[in-house]
Structure 1
Amino acid sequence: MIKSKLGLGIIMWFAIILSASGQQVDFPRDTSYNLNSAYIKIKKYYPDVTLVKETSYPSVQEERNVVYYNTGTRDLHADLFYPKKKSHKKIPAVILIHGGGWASGTKAHMVPLAQKLAENGYFAASVEYRLSPEAIYPAGVSDLKTFVKWVKVHSDEFGIDTTKIATLGASAGATLASLLGATGQSPVFKSYDFGKKVSDKVQAIVNIDGVVDFTAPGESAKDENPAKPSAGTRWFGATYKQRPDLWKQASALYYAGPETPPTIFINSTQPRFHAGRDQYVEILKENGIEYRIFTIPDTPHTFWLFHPWFEEVYPKVISFLNDTFQYKGN
């Protein structure tokens, strides 16, 4: 979860988009976290790194900015990637969720990994969700749960096996991916049902350096300066001391149990981003649920956005999903 910078480091502007009705709608956006700033920061310590860029694969079909839901004020979008060659068997789906401290970042950050997954036979979608400058928790959670349902409603169009859906996130997105996976069919979070009886349950979780326990001291004890609220406080609209119930409610750790999907953690060497992981894994162990943990040596938090670490990330993700879904690709 990439902490947004405040004060002079934050740029707040109003993006103009087209809603489903064709009217223009303004909504606040925080652009303080972007790939260029991340690259400049990391390049100081790792001079040989390069940014991972989008690629055009001959075998991959793509659809950009597909509208999956209208909030009543604007459309929400997803970028879709899937094999051009139709399979005689239905294929698994992966829902990718970007990071940025629940305040910044865009779905474009997850496109290179989505393209890799599609090249290996998966339906992969990088999803937009409302961030804290626009709508605080739990709006973004509801958006993403709605997209899980959208995938199921549209499964026949893309040949998706609705019993093989994974949530995958990085940083703040990993926190969300874990929460979605651990709260399938939970009444706690509302989502749009599209007029059909479909659940928001998924069958696998990929957590790339995201916390699963907001109540851990590394997250809950950050708000010493009221002028500089933490990313968590901005998202919840309250500090941990003010609303500990919300901070706990959004923690995947407290939902882990017999129904939790198999989970893989791919971590940096930054301990802060492991909050709750070990306790979560102990619960999976007790219930005989598959899990994997990989810590990539000498890595900054945003390692998945850069070569050479990207080459370590995507094979681990694909191997885990192939094994979990008993899938051999196209």
Structure 2
Amino acid sequence: MVFGGLQGQSYVGVTGVADSSYTNEIAFEKTRKTHSNIKLVKPFQLANITEKYDIIYDTIGYRKLKLDVFHPSTLKTDNAAIIIFHGGGWRSGNKTQHHPLAQQLANKGYVCFTPEYRLSTEALFPAAVLDAKAALLWVRNNAKKYQINPDKIAVLGFSAGGELAAFLGTTQNIPLFQRKNSIGSSTKVNAVIDIDGTLSFVHTESGEGNDTNGTSAATYWFGYTKKEKPFLWKLASPLQHVDKDTPPTLFLNSSVTRMHAGRDDYVKLLKRYGTYTEIRSFNNAPHAFCLFKPWFDQTVQQIDQFLLKVFR
């Protein structure tokens, strides 16, 4: 195991049964109670987009990890790639969550990938991180097939997926966060888009680790409470690893501050290193704003404008 010092992790949440408590439809039903004007964005039918599903990007024992691909039917050269990680508290959700987003970004010329990763019902931290890194390596290894410029690979995620995307951006080529058989292979990231993903599990703004009303998502994922292993909660925070190599980053945020805990401190560090960053906040928007109209189209537009700027 990569983290040999994690003896005593609680596996009570590793049920082996998928947690279906968070889906786009469930998020929609919950959110429209407070935002009655929203519309759930569903997959599109776009004739000029090629879609391929359930491509195996890695295998862990008998477990086959899969991703879906969306790209313009006619591929040009020098394409930018976007790897999109879904949300769900590292415990729920699945790779179909952002198919509409991948379709619309592919419609703008990007090659998009939506990988699954092992959730806390199946495996504890750092499994999801190692899976996300493996998906990144698969994209890099298949860059020629999709005519991707290896210097134009962005990672994007919503909520838990946003945290994973930021973590990949801040821990490039660090062996501790890669599978042993991939050490030496580049896990470089060229841009990060974090949609309401926490930047720190130990920040004062963070709600993760509050188990008073039930076990928090992060507690399930780490297998320890924040009090039991504070060093682990800090180590797993993207904010802890920001340095001069952290790539340009776009933050797309709701009005729910705890969902992007640590963002302002993260931005201060990026500015200190002279790294380009943008914050785009949607006033009065719910946490899952990127799944709904009226914010979906603006989300696509902001992502496109940011990547055009940093990949020009």
Calculate the TM-score normalised by the size of structure 2: 0.92
1:245 deviation in Å? 1.4
Letter in 2 for 1:102: W
Aligned partner (choices 208, 213, 216) of residue 203 of structure 2 = 216
Aligned partner (choices 20, 28, 34) of residue 23 of structure 2 = 34
What are the ranges of 5 or more consecutive residues in structure 2 without an aligned counterpart? Answer: 1-12
Answering whether residue 104 of structure 2 is matched by residue 147 of structure 1, we say no
Q: How many residues align?
A: 299
Q: Is contact 1:90-1:161 (8 Å) kept?
A: yes
Q: Is contact 2:82-2:110 (8 Å) kept?
A: yes
Rounded Cα–Cα distance in structure 1 between residues aligned with 2:106 and 2:75: 12
Aligned partner (choices 214, 226, 229) of residue 215 of structure 2 = 229
- Note the alpha carbon deviations across 1:211-231, whole angstroms, 9 max, x for none: 101112333550235xx2100
Distance of aligned partners of 1:174 and 1:13 in 2 relative to their CA distance in 1, 3 Å threshold: closer
Distance of aligned partners of 1:34 and 1:160 in 2 relative to their CA distance in 1, 3 Å threshold: same
| Most deviating of 131-140 and 48-57 | 48-57
Structure 1 runs of 4+ off > 6 angstroms?
none
Aligned twin of 1:21:
none
Identity percentage of aligned residues: 40
SS in 1 for 2:179: coil
Aligned twin of 1:166:
154
Aligned twin of 2:41:
52
Rounded Cα–Cα distance in structure 2 between residues aligned with 1:210 and 1:200: 20
Letter in 2 for 1:204: A
What are the ranges of 5 or more consecutive residues in structure 1 without an aligned counterpart? Answer: 1-11, 15-26
Tell me the C-alpha RMSD between the 2 structures: 1.7
Aligned twin of 2:189:
202
Q: Is contact 2:20-2:92 (8 Å) kept?
A: yes
Answering whether residue 73 of structure 2 is matched by residue 84 of structure 1, we say yes
1:60 deviation in Å? 1.1
Rounded Cα–Cα distance in structure 1 between residues aligned with 2:44 and 2:283: 26
- Note the alpha carbon deviations across 1:29-66, whole angstroms, 9 max, x for none: 11111122111111111122111111122221110111
Alignment of 1:1-330 (within 5 A): 27-87=16-76, 89-191=77-179, 193=181, 198-217=185-204, 218-224=206-212, 228-326=214-312
1:284 deviation in Å? 0.6
Calculate the TM-score normalised by the size of structure 1: 0.87
Q: Is contact 1:146-1:192 (8 Å) kept?
A: no
Aligned twin of 1:4:
none
Rounded Cα–Cα distance in structure 2 between residues aligned with 1:266 and 1:204: 14
1:154 deviation in Å? 1.1
Rounded Cα–Cα distance in structure 1 between residues aligned with 2:181 and 2:299: 33
Aligned twin of 2:9:
none
Rounded Cα–Cα distance in structure 1 between residues aligned with 2:67 and 2:209: 34
